[in-house]
Amino acid sequence: MRVNTSLSRTTAIILSTLMAASFCSATAVLAAEPAELVRQIETKLSSVQRQTVTSPGQAEKDVLAAQDLIGQLALAAPNHEKLAGLQTRFDDLKQKLEKRLGRPVGGSAAPAAPPVVATEPQAASPDLPSVVVSQLKKIDAALTAADTALGKKQLQSANRKMEEAKKLMTEVQTRYGSKIPADNAQMKAAVQRLDAIAAKVSEANALAATAAAAEAAMEQQRQTQSKEWIARLAPFFDYKNDLYLRMGSEFNNASAEEQEKTRQGYAKANELLASFKQTAFPSGKTQELVWLEQRLTAYLTIYNEQEARSRQEESCRAWVDALRPYVDVGAGSPKYLVVGCTANEGEITQRSALLEEAKTLWADYQKAQFPNGKSPELLSLEERMQQCLAEMPESLRQSRALVSADIDKEFTRVLNYLTTDTGWQADPTKMPNIVMERDVAPLREALKRYAGIAGADAAKLATLRDTLAKIEKQDQANRAIRAERTYLKPDQYEGDDTDALRRKVEAIVKEKDQGKVLRVTLPDETWKEESVVEWTDTTHTALRYRNTRSMTAHAAAKGSDGNVYLHAVHLAADRQSDGSWGPLYGHVMWSDWMAEKNVEEEPPAP
C-alpha cells in the first residue's frame, strides 16, 4: 500500500505541476540534479514559512514554485530519501497559508468535487458504548481530513487519512460489534460516510494511476524516439566515422580525401536534418537530442553559408579575372587604367587605347547574368571600373592639354582648383583643396618639354613657370591650414584588450617611420567581424575559411623629418581553430600632416 500511495502522490504532484505552468519555466524540468532540486525546495519552503504571516502573496508564489520543484524531484528521483519529508512539510505549510489567505492557493484551480457533507453530530445513543462513540468521532475527523485533502489535490494525505479511518472502523467492528445494535442510526451514518469517502479516494487513485501510466508511456516514447534520432545524428560528430563533419582549420588541414568525405557528410547531414525537422515528436525530445540538433544546425548553417559564398565566388571568377588587370594596381598588369595627367604623348595614346578596350569589356560585363549573385570581390572591382571609366576621359583631356598649345590653361585650372573656396574660410571644420604629386609632376614635365622647344614663347614660358610656383606655394599654404584643422578622433572602444591594441598601433607606426608616437586613440566602438571563403594563393587551387575582426585606430606621431602626422592604422586578427583570436596585425592606411598643438585636443563640434 505504501508503494501505491507513493505513486499516487507522485502522480498528483505531476498533475499539479502542469496546472501551475504559468508560474514556472518548463525548460527547467530536466535541467537540475536531485541534490540541487532538494536545495531549491528547502529554500522555497523556508521562504513560505517566513512569509505566510507578513507577506502571504509572496508566500503563495513560493508555494507554487515549491510544488513545481517537488514534481521535478518526483520525476527525477521518485525514491529519493527526502521526497516524503519534503511533501509532508509542503502539505502542512500550504494548509496554513490557505487558512491565512481564506482561499485555495492559486485561486484559479478547477473546483473540486463537492465534499461529502458530514453528518450532524447526533446525541450519543444509549445503545452505544462510550468508547464506540469516541472512536466514531475520530473516524468522522479522519474522513473530514481525507475529503479536504482530496479537494486540495493532496492524494497522499487523503490516502493516509482514509487508511486511518478504515483502521478505526475495523477496530470498532471487531472489538465492539457485539455491543452495537444492528439498526443503530449513528453507526449506519458513519459506515455510509466511510464508504462514500472511500469511493472518492479510490476514484482519485484510479485517475492518478491512469495519469502516471500515461506519463510513463509518454516518457518511454520520448526516450525511444529520441534514441533513434541520436543514433542517426551522432555519427556526424564521431571523428572515427566517415560522416564526421570538419570545420575551419580542421577542414583546411585535412587531406583531399578527408575533405571530400566531409563534403559528402555535410550533404547527408542537410538531407537528414530536413527529414528531422519534418518529424513530429508528440512526446517531446530528450535534452541530449535537443543539444545534438542545435549543434548540427549550427554546423550546417555555417557550412551552407560558406558553400553559397564559394559557389558565388566560383561563378564570378571569370569576370573577376577579366576586370582585375584594369583596376587592381596590385595585379601588376600593363592594362591598368591610370587616372591622372601625363605630358608624354606616347603614354596618352596608350591610355586612350586601354580606355576603349575597357569600355568594350564593360559593355559585355553589363550583359552578363549572375544567378548566384555577385561576390564582394567582383562588386569591389566593378565599383573601381565604373570610377575609372567615369574619370579617365577627363584626365586624358587634361593630359592632351599639356602637350597642346593650351598648356597654360591646364596650369591655370590646377591653380584655380587650389584657390577655390570650399567653405573652409567661414567653417573651421572644412578643409581647403590640395594637389598630389601625381597631379603636379605632369605639369613639371610639360613645362620642361615646352622649354626645350625651339623658338618657344619666352613670355609664355615665364608665365608657366610663375603659375607652377604659385601652385606649389598655394598647395603648401593649404596643407598648413589643413594641419591646423586636423585632430585625432576621440576614443570609443572600451574592450579589455585596449592596452594591447595601443601597443600594436605604436609598433606599426614606428615600423613605418622611426619617429615618436605621441598619442593613440581607438575611435571604433566595437570590432567589425567578417567571415569569408577565399583562395589560399593566386593559383586558385585551394580554398580556406577565414573569420577576421578589424578596426581603425588613429595615431599622432612626430616623424623623422620633425613634422607631426596623423596616421590611420588598420588593425586585424584572425580566429584560430580553438575559437580564440590570433595575434594582431595591421598597416598604416594613410597619413596627414597635423599641428603638434592639436595632438591632445579634441576636434571641434561640427
For residue 533, the model assigns a pLDDT of: 58
Nine-digit cell string for 526: 566595437
Contact 468, 442 (CB under 8 A): no
Q: Which residues contact 229 (CB under 8 A, 6 or more apart)?
A: 276, 279, 289, 292
Report the C-alpha gap between 462 and 457 in whole angstroms: 9
> Tens of pLDDT along 12-42?
443 343 333 333 333 333 345 888 888 999 9
> Tens of pLDDT along 85-100?
898 898 889 888 888 8
Q: What is the 3-state secondary structure (H, E, C) of 19-30?
A: HCHHHCCHHHCC
Taking the mean position of all CA atoms in its chain, how far away is CA 222?
29
Largest CA distance in the chain: 157
CA angle 75/80/81 to nearest 5° reads 155
Nine-digit cell string for 28: 527547467
Could you say which DSSP state residue 123 is in? P
For residue 176, the model assigns a pLDDT of: 86
For residue 100, the model assigns a pLDDT of: 83
Cα dist from 445 to 84, 511, 597, whole Å: 101, 34, 38
- Amino acid identity of residue 262, one-letter, is T
Whether pTM > 0.85 for this model: the answer is no
The string over 59-81, giving b where at least 16 C-beta atoms fall within 10 Å of a residue's C-beta and e elsewhere, is bbbbbbbbbbbbbbbbbebeebe
Within the chain, which residues score under 50 in pLDDT? Answer: 1-31, 108-125
Report the C-alpha gap between 313 and 7 in whole angstroms: 63
For residue 552, the cross-strand partners are 570
Q: On the CB side of 488, how many CA atoms lie within 13 Å of its CA? A: 29
For residue 328, the model assigns a pLDDT of: 87
From the list 511, 505, 516, 512, the residue with the least C-alpha distance to 558 is 516
For residue 567, the cross-strand partners are 555, 591
> Tens of pLDDT along 141-158?
999 999 999 999 999 999
From the list 378, 372, 490, 475, the residue with the least C-alpha distance to 431 is 475
From the list 54, 141, 50, 58, the residue with the least C-alpha distance to 93 is 50
Report the C-alpha gap between 555 and 522 in whole angstroms: 9
For residue 402, the model assigns a pLDDT of: 80
- Give the DSSP H/E element, type plus range, for residue 573: strand 564-574
Report the C-alpha gap between 217 and 589 in whole angstroms: 67
Q: On the CB side of 29, how many CA atoms lie within 13 Å of its CA? A: 14
Nine-digit cell string for 484: 591646423
Cα dist from 487 to 23, 108, 512, 560, whole Å: 57, 67, 20, 20
